[in-house]
Amino acid sequence: MHELEDELQEIKREIVEIRGLSIKSANVVGALGADIKSIARRQLDYERRINWNSATAYVVFVIVVFTALKFAVDARVDAIVAKNSHWEKEAGRLAQFEKDIAEREEERKRTAEASARFYDLIRQNKRAEIVRGFDAVKALPLSKAELGLFTDAVDHAKGELAVTFYLQGLEQLKLERYAEAANAFEQSTTYKEDSSVSRSAKLGLATAWKRLRKFKEAMTLLDKLQNDPTDKEVQDDALALLAQCQMEVEAWNDARTSWRSLLHRFPDSPFAQEAKLSLQQLALKR
């Protein structure tokens, strides 16, 4: 009986121990399950982060790749545009160069034709046409030799025209056509101011004006001639004619001064006798 009780006590103890072990096992299994769930959640979170990071990295990679590609394409486009712009400028420069050459060739052709026509005028000795056409010809891009040749020809033509009109003026004076004479003398001085007959033409012009009773214009011109030291041959003529005009307008004191100046400066002048007689007449007009 005593042994049975011991066995029962032993069985009870084992049952209690098994129960305790079962409880511990259940607690351990529960804790393990919780740990597994926690690990699973962490793993899920980790995988989710990995996925997001991978997606982010992929997006960043794609953006970087496309950005680099865009820069590369832009650089290539800029290079092509710059190259095209260079060739366009070069084509424009060549086109302008070709145009300039064509214009210079056309200008050279026009110059050659104009020079040939002007030279024909020189060969034909058409003096008036030479003088009139020179302004248009000298504006052309002539060589120094051509310009010098044409300038000399024009100067020669002007000199010949000045002499021709001077002789015409003298002829008109003889015929007492004083208006025509004045016009001829004016043209003579207009064609060439410093010709060999310019001062004689001016003296002839003053003579014609005196005949036309244009005393004021004649006296202005004669006063310059009688003071011109470059041609003494016309000084006494100019001074005598000036005195005559002054007497015509009754400028007695001026006439007296002019006649006295003539006698003082040109005592051997052919007008000396006239000067003395005129001074005697002027003495009576005091």
Residue 168 inside a domain? The answer is no
Residue 270 inside a domain? The answer is yes
| pLDDT recorded at residue 58 | 65
Give me the DSSP letters along 116-146. Answer: HHHHHHHHTT-HHHHHHHHHHHHTS---HHH
Q: Is the confidence at residue 66, as pLDDT, over 70? A: no
Residue 164 inside a domain? The answer is no
* Residue 212 pLDDT level (bands cut at 50, 70, 90): very high
Amino acid type, 181: A
**Structure token pair of residue 122:** 């020189």
* pLDDT (tens digit per residue) in 237-256: 899 999 999 999 989 999 89
Residue 43 inside a domain? The answer is no
DSSP state of 191: H
The CATH number of residue 248's host domain is: 1.25.40.10
Residue 247 inside a domain? The answer is yes
Give the least confident one: 20-24, 88-92, 221-225, 232-236: 20-24
The total number of structural domains that make up the chain: 1
Query: What value does the mean pLDDT take over residues 94-105?
Result: 77
* pLDDT (tens digit per residue) in 147-197: 888 888 888 888 888 889 999 999 999 998 999 999 999 998 888 777 778
Query: What value does the mean pLDDT take over residues 30-48?
Result: 71
Residue 237 inside a domain? The answer is yes
Residue 239 inside a domain? The answer is yes
For residue 34, count other CB atoms closer than 10 A to its CB. 10
Query: Can you give the length of the chain in residues?
Result: 286
Rounded to the nearest angstrom, the gap between the alpha carbon of residue 137 and the centroid of all alpha carbons in its chain is: 22
Query: The domain containing residue 281 runs over which residues?
Result: 213-286
Residue 253 inside a domain? The answer is yes
| pLDDT recorded at residue 1 | 58
| pLDDT recorded at residue 182 | 92
